[in-house]
Amino acid sequence: MHGGNQSETSEFLLLGLSESPKEQRILFWMFLSMYLVTVVGNVLIILAISIDPHLHTPMYLLLANLSLTDLFFVTNTIPNTLVNLQSQNKAISYAGCLTQLYFLVSLVTLDNFILATMAYDRYVAICRPLYYVTAMNPGLCILLLTLCWGLSVLYGLFLTLFVTKVTFCGSRKIHYIFCEMYVLLRLACSNTQVNHTMLIATGSFIFLAPLGFMIMSYVYIVRAILRIPSASSKYKAFSTCASHLAVVSLFYGTLCMVYLQPLQSYSMKDSVATVMYAVVTPMMNPFIYSLRNKDMHGALGRLLLGKAFQRFT
């Protein structure tokens, strides 16, 4: 890896968060536990929604897609991390690194779009309840999801192609658990100002525009809830949004900590924040969405316990 273009970079070394064998063992069991919890939780959400006819509504269709996205997200990064923590060979090929980066960008973007679509669903349900059946009909819901998936795939491809124009030389050590955009740009020996500017410009639009839409949606939702005369009805209306608000806060809070800053200031604390949105958020989503949701409780009970649950209820 001396000078030249990006094709001369055959591989990178994913060194992880620590090079201490003792700490690596702790990290291995921590990531393995979180991965298994994430997979089981999201698979249960998807199965419960698929099997229970009562959950064949736009809100739960969006939730199933969010769980599917989180499942893909952790599977893109964590298995390779677990192998690296147990192996002396921590190399990842240049093509493998770019592939991981592509899916990382695409799936984070997809999470972002699905959360915005869920906010729209809640806005229509609370602020325009009489029009909900027509405004969120199955055809429109599938169209919105198709747009979410399509735009995410294109954005991931766009940013990954930009990285292929970067020249890497010198150190190829990545002190992190997967190939992440900022980490790769810091390893470049060519000028990355254009890449960083493009990342900030497109990222601000792709992520802050949906966030702004969600904020406006919740302004109208809160106004509508405050006009409800019954306290119990207010609580019921707000409880349908509380889970979504919790996930949005966790997702955007960690995302903004990492990416809305100059490239030169990226540090280990941002690596921890990236672990939050890359591992912790997908793990927490099933708990957040099912914790106080009676419909999900019922669907999960019927899925896991079958007729025994029906007799109990």
Name the band, by pLDDT with cuts 50, 70 and 90, for residue 66: very high
For 274, the token pair is: 């990236």
Query: Rounded distance, CA 10 to CA 100, Å?
Result: 15
Q: What is the mean pLDDT of residues 101-126?
A: 93
First to last CA, the chain: 65
- Residue 283 contacts by C-beta under 8 Å, 6 or more apart in sequence? 34, 37, 38, 41, 74
pLDDT at site 7: 44
Average pLDDT of the segment spanning 295-305: 78
Residues in CB range of 221: below 8 A, 6 or more apart: 122, 123, 126, 127, 241
From residue 72, give the alpha-carbon distance in Å to each of 13, 66, 131.
23, 10, 34
Q: How far from 212 is each of 81, 151, 238, CA to CA, in Å?
A: 34, 18, 20
What's the rounded mean pLDDT across residues 172-196?
79
Least confident range of 11-20, 132-141, 277-286: 11-20
**pLDDT above 70 for 126:** yes
Q: Residue 4 — pLDDT band, cuts 50, 70, 90?
A: very low
Residues in the chain: 313
Query: What's the confidence (pLDDT) of residue 8?
Result: 54
Q: Are strands 91-93 and 173-174 parallel, antiparallel or unpaired?
A: unpaired
Q: Which comes out higher in pLDDT, residue 161 or 313?
A: 161
Task: Return the pLDDT at 24.
Answer: 82
Q: What is the DSSP letter of 87?
A: -
Q: Which pTM was predicted?
A: 0.87
C-alpha 112/C-alpha 207 separation (Å) is 7
* Residue/partner pairs of 42-47 with CB below 8 Å, 24 or more apart: 42/67, 42/68, 42/70, 42/71, 42/282, 42/285, 42/286, 43/67, 43/71, 44/286, 44/300, 44/303, 44/304, 45/286, 45/289, 45/290, 45/296, 46/71, 47/303
Q: What is the reported pLDDT for 9?
A: 59
Strands 11-14 and 91-93: antiparallel
User: Of 50-59, 188-197, 225-234, which gets the smallest average pLDDT?
Assistant: 188-197
Quote the pLDDT of residue 265: 57
Nearest to 71 by CA among 270, 282, 265: 282
Would you state the pLDDT for residue 153?
Answer: 96
Q: Which residues contact 163 (CB under 8 A, 6 or more apart)?
A: 98, 101, 181, 184, 185, 195
Taking only the tens place, the pLDDT of each residue in 18-61 is: 777 788 888 889 999 999 999 999 999 999 899 888 888 899 99
pLDDT above 80 (res 150): yes
pLDDT at 145 over 90: yes
Q: Residue 237: its pLDDT value, please?
A: 79
pLDDT exceeds 60 at position 211? yes
Mean pLDDT, the chain, rounded, equals 83
Residue 5's pLDDT band, with cuts at 50, 70 and 90, is very low
79-97 pLDDT per residue, tens: 988 888 888 778 888 888 8
As a whole number of angstroms, the distance between CA 180 and CA 271 comes to 10
Q: Which residues contact 278 (CB under 8 A, 6 or more apart)?
A: 73, 74, 77, 104, 178
Collapsing DSSP states into helix, strand and coil, what is residue 174? strand
62-76, 106-120, 122-136, 197-211: lowest mean pLDDT where? 197-211
Residue 219 confidence (pLDDT): 93
